[in-house]
Structure 1
């Protein structure tokens, strides 16, 4: 009351309005002068330790949509350690003494008894004050993942302020996470001095120094706006030119213009992420994930969704809303993205769709990624979450005999490594199947047909792939050429693994225009010493021992014609077949990463829906209540040889495949209603022709392995 009574409000050249946002009183200040463009916005929170200060004394600004910068004037940023140098040296400096600070703090937290910080641990004191450890009271201890996304900061500290060291520690925290910081330190001043800038005889030089520092910062940011606009335009044009000169889009692929547009924006985001990383503003992976997640509109139709933590690993559980009289099948899902892209949010809709359409309990794993976590952190997270889920199946209503694990891209890598790691584990339920969607399964040899033919195809180009690989495996980028040419592989290692990595193991139809290099590049021992961990089976599971491969569960493998990683999956398919592991293979005319676009409307592609439908089928869509037996329709022989699927929407798919000749053919039809004829499948059995009749449709495929 006294403080407000001595305040004389001046509204010179501003229009002032008192408003309420909900129940929150605010005061809006707008310059009287007209403006031809939208003005900047300042949101102002007054100080006073929640004891002093009011709208009558200091004034908040209007709410904006994006925070451009944070301006912190001698803030209190933690209530944990009160033995910092400034707290000891300045404990009796006006106006914020230690006694007044502690009294205000304890009143603010509704605690009247004094607490000592720090000292010998006192459990009773901890129970009363444990909320002091939270980030809402002590934002200084926020996680790195939060700090790195904050806007640039202007920090003002005062030498004789008891809270000086809070802001110095926060400054270091921001700088360590590459958040731009402008720091202004007032050598002669005290806490609260800015409030006295207009008090004439009671004003101090430090009051005006702080006001001038803030004004200068805002002016400089405005001055830099024009060069920034030119920089943005230049980068966008350069990315467009680079895209047109380097990216290959075959004329046979569907929607080539749409694909080019989407890849241009993808390339643009990656380029801006690299620029911001070089400017020490934020890392490329965080920037790309931030942009990617902004375009996700999460839909939970027909499923319950719950965010959990298995130990330190964040996971998201999807459970169908429909009641079930028996335990459901379980799906462990590991998303892709090369440890750079991808998140629980970006794959949310795909996971919700799979859980709903297959009537399964699905667990999506949010493993650690770049820039701060390299291999094997992400793999350990996936393995830990999978084991935890397998041990808790009863709690989530999952049938232990019907658990599959699936993943795309690097998630497919983790899927293979986990199934190999769990071989022989008698204390865990056995994995029913592994579903591999365009996985990367080795980091040793990059001279396969798909590596050479699809090196510049959206979205996973050769350059982006090798950059992600070097980041993930903590390999210096200077060794990229040695990795791509095979110079880092000793001749003895190639001799050992050639039987599994030879391009001759790839079906002939994929080698029609392929000229195999006569030999690897000359061996570089220095490159080998830097990259030899790529020969570990947890990075290159394709080269696991035969005795391990022979024990892994059956597999469903999806490959895409224009994927740079296509041949990894083809080689692993052959290894599984050679060891007698049942394999179902689906090949589509698509590109790497297309599955995640299935619900993006204009930016969806036919291959996105194809992969999604096959994924759904292999995860086990339940038959229609009025359905009929696939065995009855096709017979035992064809059911084993071809792979037949019955979907929820009364459709039947028959997949025909062989190692030679046409690799696949798929036919769909609705289940018959009323007097409609039933679809039927017949085969000659001895190695000739298989026919599938679907009402008026008829498909034929030549088979050599029936």
Structure 2
């Protein structure tokens, strides 16, 4: 097992002293409250931006809430845009838990970020979250001129469960099911819901996300095991990744999703998709919403933004 970063060790000690409970021991409502409280405690104040405003897209079950972030110095028209899908195991997370991340990306990009508040499980199981993200992307493409966005420079990204949804959208874009995408930003993504990766066998205790936590998430999101091998749930199992958008794939050594993320990056490279793979051996899952405690987070987001800027 690789060594942990000192900031991670300090945070784990604090959590242990505070008597924090694993999400899988809670109800979804309790876990959402705990997840939101952790985000508030571990994030610095969000970057001020010239424009942050609510939007909504028509979805299959009603309006899908969105939030638009416009970076300083961004032009009034022809603006590149990143559609951001938050993590949280398809059960947790919101516009608020990832507000800091979206603000920072918008500032670094000098562009536009639109975050999606998709429906959560177990109240809304697969494919509800994906349907809402599809609806958001289609609406964003249709409304791009009115929003001052360049429809030819749309990207998609997300962390964890959001990375899963982003990877699926990138494959759908390749197939013409949704509008074309210029880039996919996959931040410690879940790409194989069958949980067959080697890292599930070694990340079993002592961390915020373990194999048991992922099992709890997946059971809520997609309870039928036979459905977990469909590429719309597990993009690693798609027959081909060729032709999908250029990608950044971030993985962390102390993460049950590590090995599947590395396999996904390797497949993208092997199938001639331009990919930047960043592996943080001394970090754990979820660091991007913990910038107050984990010093390297700012640098990781800066690298992610610069990689996207290189495509735009």
TM over 0.5, shorter chain: yes
Alpha-carbon spacing, 1:263–1:307, altered in 2? closer, same or farther (3 Å):
farther
Stretch moving more, 395-404 or 301-310: 395-404
Aligned partners of 1:329 and 1:398 also within 8 Å: yes
Indicate which of 451, 462, 466 corresponds to 2:211.
Answer: 462
In structure 2, the CA distance between the partners of 1:292 and 1:307, relative to structure 1 (3 Å rule), is farther
User: What count of residue pairs does the alignment treat as equivalent?
Assistant: 304
Aligned partner of 1:304 in structure 2 is: 51
* Helix, strand or coil at the partner of 2:80: strand
The answer to whether residue 260 in structure 2 is matched with residue 568 in structure 1 is yes
Q: Which of 306, 309, 312 is 1:620 aligned to? A: 309
Give yes or no for the alignment of 1:382 onto 2:133: yes
Equivalent-residue separation in structure 1 for 2:141 and 2:19 (angstroms): 37
Shift of 1:370: 2.8
1:368 is matched with: 119
Structure 1 292/257 Cα, relative in aligned 2: closer, same or farther at 3 Å?
Answer: closer
Task: Find the counterpart in structure 1 of residue 286 from structure 2.
Answer: 593
Partner Cα distance (1:258, 1:290) in 2? 17
Gap runs ≥5 in structure 1: 1-248, 476-529, 623-706
Distance 2:161 2:272 in 1: 25
Q: 1:405 to 1:290 in 2, by over 3 A?
A: closer
Q: 1:394 to 1:339 in 2, by over 3 A?
A: same
Q: Give the superposed CA RMSD.
A: 2.6
CA distance in 2, matches of 1:293, 1:305: 19
Shift in CA distance, 265/412, structure 1 to aligned 2, threshold 3 Å: farther
Q: In 1, are the aligned partners of 2:47 and 2:100 still within 8 Å (CA)?
A: yes
Alignment of 1:443-482 (within 5 A): 443-446=193-196, 448-473=197-222, 475=223
Runs of 4+ deviating beyond 4 Å: 249-252, 263-266, 292-298
Per-residue deviation, 1:593 = 0.2
Q: Superposed, which structure 2 residues align to 1:184-203 within 5 Å?
A: none
Three-state SS of the structure 1 residue aligned to 2:92 is: coil
Separation of aligned partners in 2, 1:401 and 1:375: 29
Cα 1:252–1:302 change in 2 (3 A) is closer
Find the counterpart in structure 2 of residue 551 from structure 1.
243
Change over 3 Å in CA distance of 1:419–1:551 after alignment to 2: same
Pick from 532, 540, 543: which aligns with 2:234? 540
Q: Does the 8 A contact of 1:269 with 1:288 survive in 2?
A: no
- The 1:431/1:361 distance shift into structure 2, 3 A limit, reads same
Which protein, 1 or 2, shows the higher relative CO under an 8 Å CA cutoff with sep ≥ 6? 2
Question: Alignment partner of 1:314: what SS?
Answer: strand
Could you tell me how far apart the structure 1 residues matched to 2:195 and 2:111 are? 37
CA distance in 1 between partners of 2:269 and 2:88 (Å) = 28
Cα contact 1:358–1:621 (8 A) shared by 2: no
The equivalences for 1:156-171 within 5 A come to none
Q: How does 1:234-253 map to 2 (within 5 A)?
A: 252-253=4-5
By how many angstroms is 1:325 displaced? 6.6
Q: Give the alignment partner of residue 287 of structure 1, picking from 9, 33, 45.
A: 33
Q: Do 1:562 and 1:590's aligned partners in 2 also have CA atoms closer than 8 Å? A: yes
Query: In 2 relative to 1, CA 420–442 (structure 1 residues): closer, same or farther, beyond 3 Å?
Result: same
Cα distance in 2 between the residues matched to 1:561 and 1:457: 14
Aligned-partner Cα distance in 2 for 1:595–1:293: 10
User: Is the 2:157–2:186 Cα contact (8 Å) retained in structure 1?
Assistant: yes
Preserved contact between residue 298 and residue 348 of structure 1 (Cα < 8 Å): no
Once the two structures are superposed, the pairs formed by residues 270-669 of structure 1 within 5 Å of their partners are: 270=23, 274=26, 277=27, 283-289=29-35, 291-292=37-38, 295=41, 299=46, 301-311=48-58, 312-322=63-73, 324=75, 327-425=78-176, 428=179, 430-446=180-196, 448-473=197-222, 475=223, 530-546=224-240, 549-588=241-280, 589-598=282-291, 600=292, 604-620=293-309
CA distance, structure 2, for counterparts of residue 313 and residue 269 of structure 1 = 29
Is the CA contact 2:137–2:178 (under 8 Å) kept in the aligned structure 1? no
